[in-house]
Structure 1
Amino acid sequence: MTASPVLLAVVLSLVSAVCYATAAVVQERTAAGTPDLRGALARGSWWWAVLLNATGALLHVVALRYGPLTLVQPLGALTLVVAVPLGSLAARRRTSGTQWRGMALTLAGLTALLTATASGNAPDNTLGTTEVLLVALAAATVIAALIRFAPGGLGFAAASGIASGVGSTLAQKLAVGPALSWSVAAVAVLTVAFAAAGLVLSQKAYRSGLGGPLALLTLVNPVTASVIGITLLGEGFQYGAAGTLLALAGALTAARGVVLLSRPEPPQDHPDHLDGGHDRPRVPRPTRPDTVPGLLPTRLLTGTSRAI
């Protein structure tokens, strides 16, 4: 008895999320010990992280072969769910109550989405050549407008989420579509272009902070892919209106969880001993500007899973 295509897509997405999260942990630890890129390139751990990222990206593309965009893309948020405890364990830090609530809400929301979208059938429809060009043109126009009129962290984050969502949509066409032809080659070029754009824009987004841009990017990505899947590919939800409401409730719950996971935790002061009857002044421990205590450097998390 063989597993259903959607079940296979879920399993592949889970393994992909674990690969991305583990790679981010390794990269964060490497960056903490070797701030400059040249030094990181000389360390074997960094190359292990590259291999894990590549494996995660490949598994994500294969998952798109067996599951709809409305299912596979939201499961990308599991990278954060896995990364939080892994990051805390690697840093020997306690996971906060806020982060536990974020993980619980994200898992609950994704479970609701899974229930509403898991029809058991592999996707059998992809964008036509004309639709690909229209989606690429529309996405490029919106991205350019966001960069021009909202150039701050949130603007770049929204643009990155759109680029990554479109990249995943095009990747699905490559996974499900016909044999090699000039149109498939053009889609491959566009897929790489949007994936690279998503990576570059995410790097720019985090120059102004982490929490807000991370939450927005993580939410815009699956929303973009899902809108394309529903409007152009005929993907929908099971159980009619009830399934649609369940999916919306799940999406909102998962969104709230992502926001909690993306929220920076305040630096924790160590309890100080009394010295001669007087308290020593408490000095907060410095934190790296590109990390969130209890979470991982989001520039690493979004450079892969969100760009495919």
Structure 2
Amino acid sequence: MFPLDDLSGLTDQFTQDPARLIGIPFALVGAVLMSLGAQFQHRGVVKVEQNSGRNASSGLNVAQLKALLSRPSWVIGTIMLALAIVFQLSALNFSPLILVQPLGAIALVITSILNARIANITLNRKSIIAIGACVGGIALFVTTAAIVGIDRPVSTSALITILIAMAGVLIAFATAFLLARTKARAIFYIIAAGAIYGFVATLAKVIISRIQHGNVDWLTIVCAVALIAGTVLGAYFVQNAYASGPPDLVIAGLTVIDPMVAVCIGIVVLQEAAGAPLWAVLAFVAAGLISVWGVFQLARHHPQAKV
């Protein structure tokens, strides 16, 4: 049975502590900045690809990466994405996950509308349904996690497990890219970036917590190195995704896969959903299937999707 008492308790928390609502405008601003940043970065990548005369869908080369730094649109987009991260972290500092995390899905809707107007295209019915599935699925997934989740401290053994798992993910995607880069498509880059950024978000939270508690040791340094490596590789995959597909498809994948991976780490490794009721397990499965289905449908039916 759905835990109405839990929802009632959350409502009471917001009523008794209105300061928790401060995170909403931060999250909304972050979503807008993410949408604009994605559009500008996509424009820069496409322009560099055209000027170089080389198809970048199989991976941007060194010359193309350097050329991105000279594209004002790409630089502006990068700055906007950096600011989006700052606003999102600020939102989580004021408000609980259940309130602000689903608002990030607004970035997908805004990006889809912006891209349709800029590219002078009309989203077809299947694309609109796919976008709705992405937004609804991830909202259900994160909301369920927020209701049944328990915030647990990250033990040393759990952190080592996360680092080993992340290393495996980085090696697996890097190897797959090197072996099949000529056949890689936008959906591969999106899944890879989303999975990597899920680990990056987890490590960022761990590092901030350890620094606040004055627990800066060799393991914290290893986490920082892993975070930088993951950020660099994930950013490279995102740029390749822009060269292989429309920006709203990229945002759809990141909006769905990134938080899902982070929540799965919390459930499997950190045991943050230990003892979750059956309805929560079913909600996790349903939400995951719906949102992932939406990403693949958008990749297949988007008017700008490359065959």
When residues 237 and 109 of structure 1 are mapped into structure 2, their CA distance, relative to the original with a 3 A threshold, is: farther
When residues 120 and 65 of structure 1 are mapped into structure 2, their CA distance, relative to the original with a 3 A threshold, is: farther
Does the residue aligned with 1:235 lie in a helix, a strand or coil? Answer: coil
The residue aligned with 1:195 is 231
CA RMSD across the alignment: 4.1
The residue aligned with 2:17 is 2
The residue aligned with 1:108 is 136
Q: After TM superposition, list the pairs within 5 Å mapping 1:4-23 onto structure 2.
A: 12-23=26-37
Q: After TM superposition, list the pairs within 5 Å mapping 1:1-308 onto structure 2.
A: 1-3=16-18, 12-30=26-44, 35=50, 45-63=73-91, 65=93, 78-119=106-147, 124-148=151-175, 151-152=179-180, 153=184, 158-177=191-210, 178-180=212-214, 181-182=216-217, 183-203=219-239, 209-210=244-245, 220-236=257-273, 240-266=277-303, 292=305
- AA aligned opposite 2:144: A
- AA aligned opposite 2:31: A
When residues 72 and 189 of structure 1 are mapped into structure 2, their CA distance, relative to the original with a 3 A threshold, is: farther
Q: Contact 2:170 / 2:196 at 8 angstroms: preserved in 1?
A: yes
Return 5+ residue gaps in structure 2 as ranges: 1-15, 52-63
The residue aligned with 1:269 is none
* Greater shift in the superposed pair: 112-121 or 128-137: 112-121
Distance 1:162 1:71 in 2: 23
Does the residue aligned with 2:271 lie in a helix, a strand or coil? Answer: coil
The offset of 1:169, in angstroms, is: 0.8
When residues 12 and 131 of structure 1 are mapped into structure 2, their CA distance, relative to the original with a 3 A threshold, is: farther
The residue aligned with 2:12 is none
Q: Contact 1:12 / 1:60 at 8 angstroms: preserved in 2?
A: yes
Distance 2:117 2:275 in 1: 39
Distance 2:97 2:232 in 1: 20
Distance 1:115 1:238 in 2: 17
Distance 1:51 1:238 in 2: 42
User: Aligned residues, how many?
Assistant: 265
Distance 2:23 2:275 in 1: 17
- AA aligned opposite 1:119: I
Q: Contact 1:31 / 1:40 at 8 angstroms: preserved in 2?
A: yes
Distance 2:71 2:242 in 1: 25
- The structure with the largest helix share of the pair is 2
Return 5+ residue gaps in structure 1 as ranges: 267-290, 294-308
Q: Contact 1:117 / 1:237 at 8 angstroms: preserved in 2?
A: no
When residues 40 and 2 of structure 1 are mapped into structure 2, their CA distance, relative to the original with a 3 A threshold, is: same
* Cα shift readout 1:250-298 (whole Å, capped 9, x = no counterpart): 22222222223333545xxxxxxxxxxxxxxxxxxxxxxxx649xxxxx
* Cα shift readout 1:95-131 (whole Å, capped 9, x = no counterpart): 222221122222322332344233399x743423343
The offset of 1:86, in angstroms, is: 1.2
- AA aligned opposite 2:29: V
The offset of 1:204, in angstroms, is: 5.5
User: Highest Rg: 1 or 2?
Assistant: 1
Distance 2:39 2:191 in 1: 25
Give the TM-score of the pair, scaled to structure 1: 0.66
Q: Contact 1:13 / 1:72 at 8 angstroms: preserved in 2?
A: yes
